[in-house]
Chains A and B, each alone.
Chain A
Amino acid sequence: MAQAELSTAPAPDIGLPETTPWWKYFTFSTDHKVIGIQYLVTSFIFYMIGGALATAVRLELATPEVDFVSRELYNQLFTIHATIMIFLWIVPAGTGALGNYLIPLLIGAQDMAFPKLNALAFWMIPPGGLLLIMSFFTGTGAAASGWTSYPPLSLVNGKAGEFIWILSVLILGTSSILGAVNFFTTILKMRAPSIKINTMPLFCWAMLAASILILLSTPVLAGALILLSFDLMAGTNFFNPAGGGDPVVYQHMFWFYSHPAVYIMILPVFGTISEILPVHARKPIFGYKAIAYSSMAISFLGLIVWAHHMFTSGTPAWLRMFFMVATMVIAVPTGIKIFGWLATVWGGKIRLNSPMLFALGFISMFVVGGLSGVMVASVPFDIHVHDTYFIVAHLHYVLFGGSVFGLYASIYHWFPKMTGRMLNETWGKIHFVLTFVGFNLCFLPMHYLGLMGMPRRVAEYDPQFATINAICSIGSYILAVSTIPFLVNAIYSWRSGPIAGPNPWNALTLEWTVASPPPEHNFDGVPVPKTGPYDYGFVKQGDRRRKISDLKASDILGGA
C-alpha cells in the first residue's frame, strides 16, 4: 500500500489523515504548521488588499490627468500599497509562512525552537496590518510620503496617518525580528542528528542568511522610525532641517534596513526555488555548496550596499563609488545561483506543472530585475534613472517577477503537503499564463517610461507618456484578474481536490516522508534519511534499473 501512495498514480480517495480543525487557525497555536498557514493566509489577504491599491494606482495612471482619485489620496494609495506588499505580504509570506511551515519538517524537528515566541510573532501581524489599513480613515488619511517616509515630507503630511504608519511598521518589524530569532536558532540547533549543516536543504541555508539580515538590519529601521516619531510627535529635530536636523541621516538608517529587506524578501524564495527545481526536473541541485554559500555571501554583501539608493542624495563622491562597486559585486553570487539553477534543469526530465512553470518563470523574470539592478548600480546611469519608472520596473521585476513568482511556485509545490489535496493543474496553468502576460505587459514598458523622463510617485504626467501608461494599466488589470483562477482553485481544492497522499511529487526531502497534512508532531521519533535531499538520479546498489518513483518511504527513511 505504501508503494501505491508513493507512485504517481492517483491515490485512492480514502479521506485525509487527521487534519487540523478550522478553528485552530484562529487560536494562539504553537504548532509551526498552523502558524505557517496562519502567516500564509493572512499575508495573502493583505496581498489582495495591496493589489487592490495597486489597481487603483494604475487606474489613476491610465490617463495623464488626475481624474480617478485626488492627488492626496493617490499618494496614500502608493504609500500603503508598498508598505503592505513588503511588510504584510512578501516578508511574512516568504519568511513567516514558508519558514515556519517548512524548516522543522525539512530538518526533522518536531517544532520550532521557541513555539510561543513564534505564535506571538504571528499574532503581531493582524493588528499591525489592520492599524495600517484603518489609517485611511483618519481625518488626514493614511501616510502619504511613500514607503520610504523621508523627512521632512513625512513630518509635514497628516500627522495621524504618519504616526500610525510608524507604529504599524514597528509592530511588523518586531514580529519579523522575533521570527528571525526562531529561524536562526531552529536551523542551527534543532536539526535531526543525521542532518548536517552542509547537507541540509538549501531552503534552510537561505533562511539562515535571511534571518541574519533581519537580526542585523531591522533594529536600525526601528531606531530610525522611533526617532522619526519623536520628530513627528514631540517636535525634536533629529531629521528635521528646520531645527538643525539632518534628513540624509534618516535615509542612511532607513536603507541600512531597506536594502537588506530586498534580500529578506528574495532569499527565502531563492531557497524554495532550489527545492522545487530538482524535484520537478528529476536531477540533483547543481553545485549545492556554491548555492548555499552564495546565500551567505549575498547576506553579507547586502549589508554594505545601502547607499546605492542615495546616489542623487547628499552622498559624497567616494561613497557613491564605494557603494557602486559593492552593489555590482552582488551580481556574482546571484549569478552563481541562476546558472546553478539552469544547470539543474539542464538534461533533466522536466515536469512542466504549475510549480515548475512558476519556478522557471521566476528565473526568467528575476534575471531581468538582476540585470537592470547591475545597470542602476552604475552611478552615472543611476543619476539619470533614480526615482523614475525605470526603478519602478526594476523593483517589480525583483519583487514580483522574483519574490511573488517564487511564492506562487512554493504554494503550488507545498499545497498538497499543507492541505493533503492537489491543486487543479489546468487552472494552475491558466493562472501562470495570465500572471506572466499581465506582469510583463504592466512592468516591461515602465523601463522605457523612466528612461524617457517619467518620474515615479506622480499622479499626473506628461501626455507624451499616455499610450505606454495605458498599456501598463491594461497589464495591471490582467494581473489583478489573474488572481481569480488561483483563488478559486485554492479554495475549491482545499475543500475537495484529489487526495495528494504523502509524496505526490516523489520528492526526497523529509516533509514528503510523512502524511499530508503532517501529523501534529511531524515525525515518529527522530527521522534518519537514507538519501540526501537532492539525490535524484540516485541508483541504489544492486538495483541499477530502479526508478526513484519506485522508492518507498522506508527507502528514504532509515531507522524505525
Chain B
Amino acid sequence: MKIPNTILAMLGGIGLTLFSLWFGQHNHLLPVPATADAALVDGLFNTMLTVSVGLFLLVQGLLIYAVIVFRQRPGDETDGPPIRGNIPLEVLWTSIPAAIVLAISIYSYEVYNAMGGLDPMAAGGTAIAHHHHHGGAAIAAPLDGMAPDMGNGRQVAYGVGADPDSMGKGPDVTIDVTGLQYAWLFNYANDGIMSGDLHVPVDQDVQLNIVAQDVLHAFWIPQFRLKQDAIPGQMTQLRFKPTVTGHYPIVCAELCGSYHGAMRAEVVVDSPEDYAAWKTSMVAAAGLDQSAIAAAIPTKQLSDADYLAPYGAELGIDPGAIAQLQP
C-alpha cells in the first residue's frame, strides 16, 4: 500500500507543478506591456504567480485531502496519534520558503536594477537643467518655487531612473509633469508645449520629472508597469522607453480628493512622424495664445458638467496656472 501512495503523491506533485508552470505563463492577468521594462516586470510576475499557484494548490490540496481522509468516522471517539513535531520536516518547511523568498528577492533586485531603479543619477543631476527657462516654458517658474532645491543637484529625485545601459546619458525627451486636483499637466520645456495629454516618441528614452501642486497624486501607466507618487515640494521621476505605439491610460493612483477617480489622462506613444506632427501642431496652437490654454487643460474632465458645477472653486487654480503660461 505504501508504494502506490508515494507514487500517487509524486504524480500529484508533478501535475501540480505542470499546472502552475502553465498557468504562470498563460495567465493573461496583465494589460499589454508597452515598454521594454514592462516585459521584465511581467516575467517576474509570472514567476511569482507560478510559485504562488503551486504553493496555493499544495496547501489547499493537503487541506482537502486531510478533511476527507482524516475526518472523524461516526462513533469514533478516539484521538489521533500523539505526534508533536518532526525536526527534519520543520527544517525542510523553514528552508524551502526561505530559499524561495531569497530567490524572488534576488530576481526582483535584478529586475529593479534593469529597469533603472538603482540609477544613482536619479538623485538629481542631469534631469534638472531642463528646468531653466527655455522658450515660453514659464510654467517652470511655479514648479521651481515648489521644489526650492531643484537645480543645484542636491535634491534627491525618487523614482525609476535610467536603465544601466543608458546610465550617465541624458534622456532623449524630458517632460515636466505636474499633478493637481484633478488633472495632469505635461510641460515640454524645450519645445514650449503645455499639454493635458502625454505624447512620447516610440523607442526613445523618456524622462518625466514629476511634482504635485496641491496634494499627493500618483502617476501610473498600467501598460508601462510604472507608478510614482507626485509629491508637493519634492520632485520624483520616471524614465522609460516605450516600445509599442498606441493610446494608454494615465491613472492617478493616490487618493487626492473627491474627483480622484476622474483624474485620468492619456499617454500616446507616437511613431517619430506622428510625434513630430503633434509637436508642430502644439507649437502652432501655442502661437495662437489664448487657444493654447484651452488645449493645455485636459478636456475630458472639463467637459464633464458634473465636474464643473461643484468645483468652480478648484478651477480657480487653473486661471492662475494659465496666467503663468503667458510668454
Contact = CB atoms under 8 A, between A and B. Distances in A.
B104 A378 contact: yes
Given A360-B63, A384-B222, A248 B234 contact: yes
Nearest to A458: B261
Contacts of A331: 97, 100-101
B173 interface: no
B257 A290 contact: no
B317 interface: no
A421 interface: no
Judged by DSSP, the binding face of B is: mixed
A383 interface: yes
Contact of B253 (A386, A459, A534, A537): A386
A21 interface: no
A287 interface: yes
Interface in B204-250: 214-216, 218, 220, 222, 225-229, 231-234, 236, 249
Contact of A349 (B78, B96, B306): B78
A423 interface: no
Interface string A305-329: 0000000111111001100110011
A145 B255 contact: yes
A184 B102 CA distance: 34
Interface in B253-284: 253-262
A321 B104 CA distance: 12
Nearest to B114: A380
A483 interface: no
Contacts of A312: 218, 227-229, 253
Nearest to B27: A451
B52 A371 contact: yes
B44 interface: yes
A247 B257 contact: no
Given A316-B156, A331-B97, A380-B108, A150 B216 contact: yes
A536 B31 contact: no
Interface string A216-246: 0000000000000000000000000110101
B90 A336 contact: yes
Contacts of B86: 286-287, 343
B111 interface: yes
Interface stretch (B5-13, B64-72, B125-133, B193-201): B64-72
A379 interface: yes
A349 B85 contact: no
Contacts, number: 291
Nearest to B49: A375
Contacts of B66: 342, 345-346, 348, 350
A448 B222 CA distance: 12
Interface stretch (B115-123, B164-172, B288-296): B115-123
B101 A328 contact: yes
B101 A374 contact: yes
A282 interface: yes
Given A8-B77, A152-B215, A388 B82 contact: no
B79 A282 contact: yes
A188 interface: no
Contacts of B41: 380-381, 383-384
Contact of A347 (B31, B81, B100): B81
Contacts of A557: none
B249 to A, nearest CB: 6
Interface in B18-72: 29-31, 40-41, 44-45, 48-49, 52, 55-56, 59-60, 62-63, 66-67, 70-72
Nearest to B161: A317
A285 B85 CA distance: 8
A281 B67 CA distance: 10
A379 B225 CA distance: 11
A242 B29 contact: no
B220 to A, nearest CB: 7
A481 interface: no
Contacts of B119: 317
Interface centre among B89, B227, B232 (most CB of A within 10 A): B227
Nearest to A328: B101
Contacts of A157: 257
Contacts of B98: 329, 332
A354 B111 CA distance: 45
Nearest to A75: B258
A425 B30 CA distance: 43
Among A244, A289, A321, A462, the one with the most B-chain Cβ atoms within 10 Å of its Cβ is A321
B253 to A, nearest CB: 4
A278 B11 CA distance: 30
29 contacts: A71-B261, A146-B255, A241-B146, A283-B79, A283-B83, A284-B82, A286-B85, A317-B112, A325-B105, A336-B94, A340-B90, A342-B62, A345-B67, A374-B101, A378-B44, A378-B104, A380-B115, A380-B225, A383-B227, A384-B225, A386-B218, A387-B253, A455-B252, A455-B260, A458-B260, A461-B261, A462-B249, A539-B82, A547-B77
